[in-house]
Chains A and B, each alone.
Chain A
Amino acid sequence: MSEERVPGFSTLAIHAGAQPDPTTGARATPIYQTTSYVFDDVDHAAALFGLQTFGNIYTRIGNPTCAVLEERVAALEGGTAALAVASGHAAQLIILHTLLEPGDEFIAARQLYGGSINQFNHSFKKFGWNVVWADVDDISSFENAVTPKTKAIFIESIANPGGIVTDMEAIAKVARRAGVPLIVDNTLATPYLCKPIEHGADIVVHSLTKFIGGHGNSIGGIIVDGGTFNWSREGRYPTLSEPCESYQGMVLHETFGNFAFAIACRVLGLRDLGPAMSPFNAFLILTGCETLPLRMQTHSDNALAVAEYLSDHPKVSWVSYAGLPGDRHHTLAKRYTPKGAGAVLTFGVRGGYDAGVKLVSSVELFSHLANLGDTRSLIIHPASTTHRQLADAQKTSAGAGPDVVRLSVGIEDKDDIIADLDQALDKID
């Protein structure tokens, strides 16, 4: 392949990061199911521990199977480097651990996955990382939330649960003015539908558990370094710009340039906090990744067909899917996700709570469970499951009112998906 040609997305989804194995010639990426790696001699060991040379030491810090996944996703997102970890939540933990000191603040969109809202509101507060909430439908709320203690802004490109597309470029401007990196959770869109770095993101994070793995078999997360942020300009990110005590005074930004953030996440965050990805999970996720463009297009096409079907159904009061013309986020969807608005949508069933329960109890093809981004179609009624413990008013403000149903539309035949919803909606009186 000529070196100046830039490979297309589908080529990268299959090849990026994965050369044949240098010792055996194995073409599929081997599962390096090992905890550790022998050193050539003591000098080699010292050079590895001192970050003086490249290589593997211990799978908590790096693993050759995980490394292929890291390069693969970095290439798909257009980043400089990546770090795969045990889950999407672990990725978020390591990112903020690298950026924040106790007492610092970060701004986060209110429109986030519920698990992230919990993580930020409760667990991260215990570390002294204080979240300040803002609203993606009102960009000035981000502007107004900036203080001298702000160290980052966190948003989702397409927000879970369903329907909301974020105006990333507008929020990237706020981040640039504030001198802080913009972190984008790109889980629901995947780089096939949208590449946040092209819209001003400095760091991209994924729950690989969802569409990139895509088959509902492995939990995983990844941090992608956009290589775009200058960590040393104002000295506000000492982990990157100051001599690092546990590496004899090495300055990570000066040493690793535009991939220093990913290195810091690995050699400090992952080394010390410990949520490493299993090589076996990396292998399964890599296999899923090869078909990402095919799956994501089918997910989006099927979801649009389902959204259109539901919009016309008498037992459905509303549908929230940015791919639908007329949806309040449709203009943003056309700009940021022109190939499709993803697999996830929410809608309201007439008859409220009981109707929602009846629907999830009546589906046959859809699986009733708390995940999304599987090849299979998935359904959940948040009010009776994930948001059960909240008061009614809280449920509604979290987008989990009694009538709300969330779908993650799979890649089965769309007629079968619609037929299953049709027979289940029929059972509601």
Chain B
Amino acid sequence: MNHDRYPDAYIRGILDSVKTIAMVGASAKDVRPSYLAMKYLLQKGFDVIPVNPGQVGKELLGQKVYASLAELPHPVDMVEIFRSSEHAGAVVEEALALTPPPKVIWMQLGVRNDEAAERAEAEGIQVVMDRCPKIEYGRLSGEIAWAGVNTRTLSSRRPTLSGTGVQHLSLRKPKSSPDE
């Protein structure tokens, strides 16, 4: 995978298939990007498990916090890393040690560790680096266009409402015919 520029289909495929996400470095501060992403992903129906040794025993956005990936109660589809690029390597090692390992490892906007990505990809794991899942979900659903952002997508199909209120679009591809 070329980690400088991901095809939209690659990111869409990931966000469309994963259900459970372990979020390493989830912050309890409500203006930190990890908190914002976790809140948004929960609202979009993902099952997000916060991992943060400093918050063990507490709840974050109603979810129990775990100290490490090894302590998770059940397997996860994706590990999302909110740590610095240098620390991301160790988190990837922990993720690779899980049984079963996650299908996807995602490093947050600003986080990139090519060496760790190569190790994960060698195990057949899909990797995304230097991207925010909230921004990508917003971009591919079209929600982020309300903020004037260039989604770099074009379509003459009607966007799909997610069904949870008016101002929520779904990631599902627009339908090709009204009664499909």
Apart from the given pairs A38-B166, A47-B43, 11 other A-B contacts in the complex at a CB distance below 8 Å = A19-B155, A20-B157, A20-B158, A53-B40, A55-B143, A80-B150, A81-B147, A81-B150, A83-B148, A254-B110, A255-B36
A 355-396 to B, binary, CB cutoff 8 A, 1 in contact else 0: 000000000000000000000000000000000000000000
Complex interface: stretch among A1-9, A203-211, A312-320: A1-9
In chain B, positions 144-175 with a C-beta closer than 8 Å to chain A are: 144-161, 164-169, 174
CB closest chain-B residue, reference A64 = B146
CA distance A367 to B32 in the complex (A): 55
A3-B7, A53-B40, A54-B138 given; A40·B166 CB < 8 A = yes
Residues of A in contact (CB 8 Å), total 57
Q: Determine if B165 and A40 form an interchain contact, defined as CB atoms under 8 angstroms apart.
A: yes
Q: Cβ of A3 and Cβ of B31 under 8 Å apart?
A: no
Is A147 an interface residue, CB under 8 A from the partner? no
- Cβ contacts B28-44/A at 8 Å (1 or 0 each): 01110100100110010
B118 at the interface (CB under 8 A from A): no
Give the residues from 99 to 139 in chain B that come closer than 8 angstroms, CB to CB, to chain A: 109-110, 132, 135, 138
Counting from the closest, the 8 A-B pairs by CB-CB distance are: A70-B148, A40-B165, A74-B150, A250-B31, A55-B167, A54-B143, A81-B149, A22-B159
User: Can you list, as one digit per residue, whether each of B78-113 has a CB less than 8 Å from chain A (1) or not (0)?
Assistant: 000000000000000000000000000000011000
Across the two chains, which residue of chain A brings its CB closest to B131? A257
A148 close to B (CB within 8 Å): no
Contacts of B151 in A (CB 8 A): 17, 71
In the complex, which residues of chain A have a beta carbon less than 8 angstroms from the beta carbon of B39? 47, 52-53
Check A71 against B156 for contact (C-beta < 8 Å): no
Interface residues of B in 12-53 (CB under 8 A from A): 29-31, 33, 36, 39-40, 43
A257 touching B167, Cβ below 8 Å: no
A78's nearest neighbour on chain B, judged by CB, is B150
Q: Could you tell me if A56 and B156 are in contact, using CB atoms closer than 8 angstroms?
A: no
> Taking chain B's interface residues, is the majority helix, strand, or loop, or is none over half, making it mixed?
loop
Across the interface, do B31 and A82 meet the contact criterion of CB distance under 8 Å? no
In the complex, whether A118 has a CB less than 8 A from a CB of chain B is no
Q: Determine whether B8 belongs to the interface, using a CB cutoff of 8 Å to chain A.
A: yes
A67 adjacent to B159 (CB under 8 Å): no
- The CA-CA distance from A50 to B39 in the complex, in Å, is 12
Which of A22, A54, A247 sits near B161, CB closer than 8 Å? Answer: A22
Number of A-B contacts (CB under 8 A): 131
- The proximity string for A residues 130-150 relative to B, scoring 1 for CB distances below 8 Å and 0 otherwise, is 000000000000000000000
Interface on A for B, CB 8 Å cutoff? Answer: 1, 3-4, 7, 11-12, 15-17, 19-23, 25, 27, 37-38, 40, 44, 47, 50-56, 62, 64, 66-68, 70-71, 74-75, 79-84, 243, 247-251, 254-257, 259, 262-263, 266
CB distance from A139 to the nearest CB of B (A): 31
Q: Is the CB of A20 within 8 A of B33?
A: no
Given contacts A4-B7, A19-B174, A20-B157, contact A74 B148 (CB under 8 A): yes
Assembled-state Cα–Cα distance A67/B31 (Å): 25
- Enumerate 18 A-B pairs (CB-CB under 8 Å) in ascending A order: A3-B153, A12-B154, A16-B150, A20-B157, A21-B158, A22-B158, A22-B160, A40-B164, A40-B166, A53-B43, A54-B143, A54-B147, A55-B146, A62-B148, A71-B148, A71-B151, A82-B148, A83-B148
Complex contact A79–B150 (CB within 8 A): yes
When distances are taken between beta carbons in the complex, the residues of chain A under 8 Å from B158 are 19-22, 25
Q: Are A81 and B148 in contact (CB under 8 A)?
A: yes
CA of A247 to CA of B30, assembled, Å:
10
The one of A1, A44, A257 that contacts B154, using a Cβ cutoff of 8 Å: A1
Partner of B110, one of A22, A250, A257: A257
Q: A1-B154, A54-B138, A266-B147 are in contact. Are A19 and B159 (CB under 8 A)?
A: yes
Q: Which residues of B contact A66 (CB under 8 A)?
A: 148
Say yes or no: A255-B148 contact (C-beta < 8 A), given A1-B154, A40-B167, A53-B40. Answer: no
Bound complex: CA A249 to CA B159 (Å): 34
Q: Measured between alpha carbons, how far is A37 from B146 in the docked complex, in Å?
A: 13
Q: How far is the CA of A23 from the CA of B162 in the complex (A)?
A: 11
